[in-house]
């Protein structure tokens, strides 16, 4: 009997799970066996640890991912760290193909003076805190009254909304006590969001922006002088319903009168950050006024403004990180690849003719960079899966030394790796829902790695560890 075609996927976020799902459904005449590996005790990546807790509709994506893994034809090995618990050689010895879908989890660099001052924060770090990432500290300094957020995408909007929102309005979500108490102690009164380009170029999604206008006890303040629309902007509005909705919502905000709310959220456009000000710690932000150039792009005017702030959050995007035994392009923050085939070169432009890393592939943000919404990862996965099947049919993939499904379990157990399987995840989920039910909430996140591992093993013990 022909053995199954064995595939390992490193990273169990949406990109990895979509790749596994699409591979099981691909047209083929042979059996596949897929194993998912995840560094954290739970899967789902940025859907669990990158989406603000007051966006349950977006987190509903998790329900679709759960259905995929509930089928039982994809094995999950969580709490397994690539590079320490398993190596590339371990995987290529046991699988016909290895896909990396590790995503982008760190803040992209903002190269202006002052980024290292006390009170200057990366947005990803703050998101990890309020999303209760198990590998970050449980305290966060929220003593600033005036806060700047640099960026014009959904992460900037999430950070600004969470900072401005009253803690009691967040308590109905899944946040654990340490996040609630931290937000409740916040001294913030004003949050200012700065975008380098104009309103028509903002990268907010319409739903997120509209929801911003319904946050209780928060006034949304925009500035009419920031509302410039050049020919490029008007063309974008006419050609994209999403841009049209964003521009309309922002324009509607200009008509709102302040209500005297306890907190204010200010949206600024056409302000490029020049320097984070301060000596030792943040005291302000310097921006340069921009003007639209007719194409929707901007140029500096030389007019500089100094703003007084107590903290600055940098929400200018995510970046990928290098992985052991794999090539890495630090300029783009990706594993160098040609259409998902990993190549041994840093020059993506020449990737088509580069030497391939045999049997190794990439998908998701670590393949293309941190652009696009979660749904875009399906297209990435289709392309990568197509090449894997093509390489398999062409006979260019090496036979694994240990192709048995039990081989990876034997290896992990021999190394003493305390991996969590899919049933273990359901026990974590049950423990979180039980904690939520006790407070009249849907769930409360377990915030520590130890608590999650305890829940995966024993629900009763988990109650005292979380």
Render 403-457 in DSSP notation, one character per residue.
-STHHHHHHHHHTT---B-HHHHHHHHHHHHHHHHTTTSS-----SHHHHHHHHH
Q: Does the pLDDT of residue 466 top 70, yes or no?
A: no
Q: Which two tokens stand for residue 212?
A: 């911003």
459 belongs to a structural domain: no
Pair 334, 218 in one domain: no
Residue range 453-457: mean pLDDT, rounded? 95
215/223 Cα distance (integer angstroms): 19
Q: Does the pLDDT of residue 420 top 80, yes or no?
A: yes
- For residue 380, the model assigns a pLDDT of 86
User: Which residues carry a binding-site annotation for NADP(+)?
Assistant: 152-155, 196-197, 208, 372
Structural element, H or E, at residue 290: strand 281-292
Residue-wise pLDDT tens digits, 303-358: 999 999 999 999 999 999 999 999 999 988 999 999 999 998 766 556 566 688 99
User: Which residues carry a binding-site annotation for FAD?
Assistant: 15, 38, 46, 365, 372-374
144 belongs to a structural domain: yes
Pair 112, 83 in one domain: no
Pair 71, 111 in one domain: no
What global pTM score does this model have?
0.93
Q: Does the pLDDT of residue 427 top 90, yes or no?
A: yes
- For residue 353, the model assigns a pLDDT of 63
Pair 158, 251 in one domain: yes
CATH code for the domain of 149: 3.50.50.60
- For residue 326, the model assigns a pLDDT of 95
Pair 33, 146 in one domain: no
Pair 114, 93 in one domain: no
Residue-wise pLDDT tens digits, 128-153: 999 999 999 999 999 999 999 999 99
Domain enclosing residue 256, as ranges: 107-316
CATH code for the domain of 369: 3.40.50.720
Q: Pick 312 or 62 by higher pLDDT.
A: 312
Q: Does the pLDDT of residue 375 top 70, yes or no?
A: no
Pair 308, 364 in one domain: no
Residue range 456-464: mean pLDDT, rounded? 59
Total domain count, the chain: 2
Q: Does the pLDDT of residue 106 top 70, yes or no?
A: yes
Q: What is Dmax (Cα atoms) for the chain?
A: 74
The fraction of the chain above a pLDDT of 90, given in percent, is 85
What is the pLDDT confidence band of residue 377, given thresholds at 50, 70 and 90?
Answer: confident
- For residue 460, the model assigns a pLDDT of 42
Pair 209, 340 in one domain: no
Q: At which of 316, 343, 366 does a domain end?
A: 316
453 belongs to a structural domain: no
- For residue 352, the model assigns a pLDDT of 61
Dihedrals phi, psi of 82, to nearest 5 degrees: -70, 130
- Do β-strands 218-222 and 337-338 pair in parallel, antiparallel, or remain unpaired? unpaired
Q: Does the pLDDT of residue 192 top 60, yes or no?
A: yes
- Transcribe 182-250 into DSSP letters: HHHT----EEEEE-SS-GGG-B--HHHHHHHTT-TTEEEEE-GGG----HHHHHHHHH-HHHHHHHHHH
Q: Which two tokens stand for residue 439?
A: 């407070």
Q: Does the pLDDT of residue 428 top 90, yes or no?
A: yes
Burial class (CB in 10 A: 0-12, 13-18, 19+), 55: middle
User: Which residues carry a binding-site annotation?
Assistant: 15, 38, 46, 152-155, 196-197, 208, 365, 372-374
Q: Does the pLDDT of residue 260 top 90, yes or no?
A: yes
- Do β-strands 311-314 and 120-122 pair in parallel, antiparallel, or remain unpaired? parallel
Pair 174, 250 in one domain: yes
């Amino acid at each position: 009997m022909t053995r199954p075609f064995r595939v390992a996927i490193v990273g169990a976020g949406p990109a990895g799970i979509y790749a596994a799902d699409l591979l099981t459904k691909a047209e083929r005449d042979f059996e596949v066996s897929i194993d998912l590996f995840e560094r954290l005790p739970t899967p789902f990546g940025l859907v669990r640890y990158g989406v603000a807790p007051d966006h349950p509709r977006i987190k509903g994506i998790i329900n679709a991912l759960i259905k995929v893994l509930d089928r039982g034809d994809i094995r999950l090995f969580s709490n397994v760290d690539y590079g320490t618990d398993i190596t590339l050689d371990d995987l290529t010895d046991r699988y016909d193909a290895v896909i990396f879908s590790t995503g982008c989890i760190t803040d992209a660099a903002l190269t202006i003076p002052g980024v290292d001052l006390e009170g200057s924060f990366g947005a990803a770090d703050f998101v990890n805190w309020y999303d209760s990432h198990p590998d970050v500290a449980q305290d966060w300094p929220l003593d600033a009254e005036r806060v700047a957020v640099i960026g014009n995408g959904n992460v900037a909007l999430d950070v600004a909304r969470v900072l401005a929102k009253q803690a009691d309005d967040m308590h109905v979500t899944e946040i654990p006590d340490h996040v609630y108490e931290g937000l409740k102690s916040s001294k913030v009164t004003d949050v200012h969001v700065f975008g380098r380009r104009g309103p028509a170029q903002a990268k907010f999604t319409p739903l997120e922006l509209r929801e911003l206008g319904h946050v209780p006890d928060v006034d949304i303040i925009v500035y009419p002088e920031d509302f410039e629309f050049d020919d490029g902007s008007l063309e974008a509005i006419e050609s994209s319903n999403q841009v049209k909705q964003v521009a309309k919502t922002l324009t509607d905000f200009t008509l709102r009168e302040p209500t005297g709310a306890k907190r204010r959220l200010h949206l600024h456009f056409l302000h490029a950050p020049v320097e984070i000000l301060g000596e030792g710690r943040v005291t302000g932000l310097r921006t340069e006024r921009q003007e639209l150039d007719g194409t929707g792009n901007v140029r500096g005017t030389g007019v500089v403004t100094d703003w007084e702030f107590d903290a600055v959050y940098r929400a200018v995007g995510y970046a990928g990180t290098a992985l052991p035994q794999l090539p890495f392009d630090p300029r783009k923050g990706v594993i160098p690849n040609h259409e998902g085939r990993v190549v041994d070169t840093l020059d993506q432009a020449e990737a088509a003719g580069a030497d391939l890393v045999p049997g190794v592939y990439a998908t998701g943000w670590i393949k293309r960079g941190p652009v696009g919404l979660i749904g875009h990862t399906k297209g990435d996965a289709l392309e990568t899966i197509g090449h894997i099947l093509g390489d398999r049919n062409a006979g260019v993939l090496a036979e694994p030394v240990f192709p048995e499904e039990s081989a990876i379990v034997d290896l992990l157990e021999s190394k003493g790796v305390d991996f969590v399987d899919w049933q273990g995840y359901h026990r974590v989920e049950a423990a979180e829902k039980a904690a939520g039910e006790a407070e009249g909430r849907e769930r409360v996140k377990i915030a520590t790695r130890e608590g999650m591992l305890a829940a995966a093993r024993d629900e009763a013990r988990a109650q005292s560890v979380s």
